[in-house]
């Protein structure tokens, strides 16, 4: 079967987490169904921002949420237990969230290679803004000052679900994110590492459309794909 290296970009703007999750699941299940029938499959990159929300991975420890349910309720903040990997994280306005719903076989990627390539895309996006990021051993995501004890700070979280080599969930890049919301959790279960954003590192607000343009370019290069905007 011919591989489909086209990635359709679906930009949902500011979207409720539960709504985006349901949207992902529909696409994910459709790809799985086609794959099981031996039919050609498609690849989608869903981009969005979310209202304030905390999400836990399937093995996430709720003890890493440091506030009570009533505190969340009083502030209109949602919290969801999900089926992705990883522990707890925060999503909110000013953060670029990406959900690659891909058939990995279209790109001849193993699961490990796929995660590595997603990290590579994000490292290269951040580099466009003059910041050097790296991977941190035993911790997914993209980090500044990786390996320098006491200085490591995460700028991109990654947590995915991959079944039958079809992916969902994804990454969250802190662009102009209000970082105080991370102080109410142990981000990704870590108590000794920081969180940062492009805005904090550059000391200025960053144009989200510029970040998206770099992201699309890097997906195109790393995955050797054709990017189609507002694909349906």
- Does 5 qualify as catalytic in the annotation? no
Distances (CA, A) of 72 to 86, 117, 178: 21, 35, 16
Asked if the 6-229 domain carries CATH number 3.40.50.300, the reply is no
Q: Return the pLDDT at 232.
A: 47
The model's pLDDT over 34-50, given as tens digits with 9 standing for 90+, comes to: 999 999 999 999 999 99
pLDDT of residue 100: 98
Split at pLDDT 50, 70, 90, the class of 15 is very high
Give yes or no for residue 87 having a pLDDT over 90.
Answer: no
Please give the pLDDT value at position 134: 87
In this prediction, what percent of the chain has a pLDDT beyond 90?
74
Whether 24 and 46 have beta carbons less than 8 Å apart is answered as: yes
Pick the catalytic residue: 5, 79, 133, 188?
188
Average pLDDT over residues 132-141: 83
Within 13 Å, how many C-alpha atoms sit on residue 181's CB side? 24
pTM beyond 0.85, yes or no = yes
State residue 139's pLDDT score.
Answer: 76
**Exposure string over 3-17, b if 16+ CB within 10 A, otherwise e:** ebeebbbbebeebeb
Report residue 231's pLDDT band, with 50, 70 and 90 as the boundaries. low
Q: Where are the domains of the chain?
A: 6-229
Give the per-residue pLDDT at 187.
62
Mean pLDDT, residues 68-93 = 91
Q: What is the pLDDT of residues 159-185, one digit of tens each?
A: 999 999 999 999 999 999 999 999 888
> Which helix (H) or strand (E) is 80 found in, with range?
strand 78-81
C-beta atoms surrounding 138 within 10 Å: 5
């Amino acid at each position: 079967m011919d591989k489909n290296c086209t990635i359709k970009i679906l930009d949902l703007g500011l979207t409720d987490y539960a709504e985006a999750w349901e949207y992902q699941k529909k696409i994910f299940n459709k790809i799985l169904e086609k794959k099981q029938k031996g039919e050609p499959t498609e690849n989608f990159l869903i981009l969005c921002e979310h209202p304030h929300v905390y999400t836990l991975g399937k093995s996430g420890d709720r003890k890493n949420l440091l506030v009570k349910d009533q505190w969340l309720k009083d502030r209109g903040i949602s919290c969801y237990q999900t089926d992705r990997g990883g522990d707890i994280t925060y999503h909110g306005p000013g953060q670029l969230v990406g959900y690659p719903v891909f058939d990995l076989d279209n790109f001849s990627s193993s699961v490990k290679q796929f995660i590595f390539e997603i990290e590579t895309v994000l490292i290269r996006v951040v580099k466009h803004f003059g910041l050097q990021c790296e991977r941190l051993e035993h911790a997914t995501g993209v980090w500044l000052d990786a390996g320098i004890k006491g200085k490591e700070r995460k700028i991109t979280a990654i947590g995915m679900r991959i079944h039958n080599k079809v992916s969902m969930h994804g990454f969250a890049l802190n662009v102009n994110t209000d970082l105080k919301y991370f102080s109410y959790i142990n981000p990704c279960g870590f108590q000794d590492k920081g969180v940062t954003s492009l805005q904090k590192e550059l000391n200025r607000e960053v144009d989200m459309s510029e970040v998206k343009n770099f992201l699309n370019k890097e997906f195109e290069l790393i995955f050797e794909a054709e990017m189609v905007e507002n694909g349906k």
